[in-house]
Structure formats: structure tokens, C-alpha cells
Amino acid sequence: MEFYRHQHPGDPDWLVRAALFHGHLGPWLVLGARIGADALARLDTPGQWKIEVVCWMPKSKQRTPFSCLLDGLQASTGATMGKRNLRFAYAPDVLDQGWPVVYVVRREDNGRPPEGVVYYPARELHALFAEVKPDRMEEASRSLACEEEARLFIANPMSPEAFSRYEQILACERAAIAEAAESDSA
């Protein structure tokens, strides 16, 4: 695999930033970047500290290349694991037929209530990814970067059940942080 060292003349800025951050162009990186950019536009937010992102990943896909989705989400939204607003989670009832599902939530801000979007893989995505050959990965990734969103993902407003699941993740994390802080001070 070649590292992304030279910008292709047709590469949009967002694709260049994602590839430089990740180290190379790949389809899962592109999918994450596309989902993140779509979420920021739908939620009318600049991202960074204003959002929370949860990537629900099947256990069988908690490895590369699938986990590259996280780098695409980070590159496009500014959410990071270090800021603890980008999370990797597993729950069989959330997944879509063994494929990742992404929650993006705009935090409450200046009187605007929190709002979220759930991203599911589009049926066509399976076929598009099956066509990606290792020796043509950059070319296929550039093609995915220009693909119609409807062929890549389905975006729906978060349901009350999805918000509840999201709140459970945050509550568990807060409890773990509090427990760790107590044990550190003991």
C-alpha cells in the first residue's frame, strides 16, 4: 500500500485532508468522511466540541480496513477519541445486518436542543465495496468520493430509542471516568 504523498489534481480539499491524516486513501476512510460532512451540514454545526459521534461496529469488523471509518469521521467532523466525543461501540441490536451504524449528535447549544442523525449503509454500498480491488484502492476511493450519497448511506433523524441508547453510552462512560478518578485518588 502506498502512502498518500501526492495530491491527485482532481482531489477535493476534504479528501486530501482525510488522506493525509489517515496516511492513504481507502474506501472506509472516504465513507467516514462523507458521513461526517453530511452530518455537519444536516445538523448545522461546525463539529469539533459541538458534536458527539458513536460508531457502532460489529465485532467481526473491529479491525482494519473497517475501523478506518473512524479516521474519516474524525477528519471530517473534528470529533476525536482524545476529546472523548468520538466513540467506538458494539451492540448487536444497533447494527444493520452486520454493517456499521453511525450516530452523530449535535450537543445542546445556545438554546438549540440536541439533535442527531443515524447513518446506515445503503444496499448499494455492499456492491460498491465488493468491487474495490487492493491494487486499485485509490482509484476506487476517489470514485466513492464522488458517488451519490444515496448509494453510500441512508441518513435518518435519531429516534427516541436511538437517543436513549446514546445517553446510555454517555452514562456508562461518565461512571467509568468517575470510578477511575476515585481509584486514582485512593
Q: What one-character-per-residue DSSP string does 65-108 give?
A: TTTHHHHHHHHHH---TTTT-EEEE--TTTSBTTB-EEEEEEPP
Per residue in 60-101, pLDDT (tens digit) is 999 999 999 999 999 999 999 999 999 999 888 888 778 999
Compute the distance between CA of residue 135 and CA of residue 109 in angstroms, rounded to an integer. 45
* Amino acid sitting at position 56: W
Nearest residue to 37 via CA among 165, 153, 164: 153
Compute the distance between CA of residue 87 and CA of residue 80 in angstroms, rounded to an integer. 8
Q: Are strands 51-56 and 86-89 parallel, antiparallel or unpaired?
A: parallel
Nearest residue to 114 via CA among 52, 36, 46: 52
- CA dihedral in degrees (152, 154, 157, 160; nearest 10)? -120
Q: Please, which pLDDT band fits residue 186 given cuts at 50, 70 and 90?
A: low
Compute the distance between CA of residue 174 and CA of residue 72 in angstroms, rounded to an integer. 26
Residue 2: the pLDDT is 63
Residue 180: the pLDDT is 85
Contact between residue 24 and residue 2 where contact means Cβ atoms under 8 Å apart: yes
CA angle at residue 121 from 68 to 31, to 5 degrees? 35
* CATH number for the domain harbouring residue 99: 3.30.1330.130
Residue 134: inside a domain: yes
Domain that holds residue 19: 13-159
Residue reference for cell 458527539: 52
CB atoms within 10 A of CB 28: 23
Residue 173: inside a domain: no
Residue 165: inside a domain: no
Compute the distance between CA of residue 21 and CA of residue 30 in angstroms, rounded to an integer. 12
Per residue in 8-44, pLDDT (tens digit) is 888 999 999 999 999 999 999 999 999 999 999 999 9
Residue 36: the pLDDT is 98
Residue 34: inside a domain: yes
Number of domains in the chain: 1
Q: Is 52 helix (H, G, I), strand (E, B) or coil?
A: strand
